[in-house]
Amino acid sequence: MEMKKYLLPLIGLLFTVSAQAASFTDGKEYITLEKPVASAPAALKFFSFYCPSCYQYDEVFEITDNVKKVLPADVKLTEYHVDFFRSAGARHDARLVRRHAVKRTR
């Protein structure tokens, strides 16, 4: 029983490493479009004002700013606030969205 306690996590770790090394094949795991969809937005970001991880993602680690730096000039990053915290009310939520819009235009 004691050996089982150490052996199972080791086996799990082995499967994790082998899954990361998998190569993907066009036509099997994914397909390449012959003609790109011109009207589709190229970059979308979904976040919540109420999510501490979303805040750190943006304000602490500056991920969004770094992504914008590497996007091609003709690609626009569109951000959408997702409200899973309905108890705050629609008026409060609308104020947050307006503040976010003002912040992004400065």
Percent of the chain with pLDDT over 70: 74
* DSSP for 57-86, written as a single string: IIIIS-HHHHHHHHS-TT--EEEEE----G
Burial class (CB in 10 A: 0-12, 13-18, 19+), 4: exposed
d(CA 44, CA 69): 15
Domains of the chain: 33-106 (3.40.30.10)
When comparing pLDDT for 10 and 76, which is higher? 76
3-state secondary structure of 24: coil
Does this model's pTM top 0.75? My answer is no
Mean of pLDDT values over 78-96: 72
* pLDDT value at 31 more than 70: yes
Confidence of residue 56 (pLDDT cuts 50, 70, 90): very high
pLDDT at 40: 65
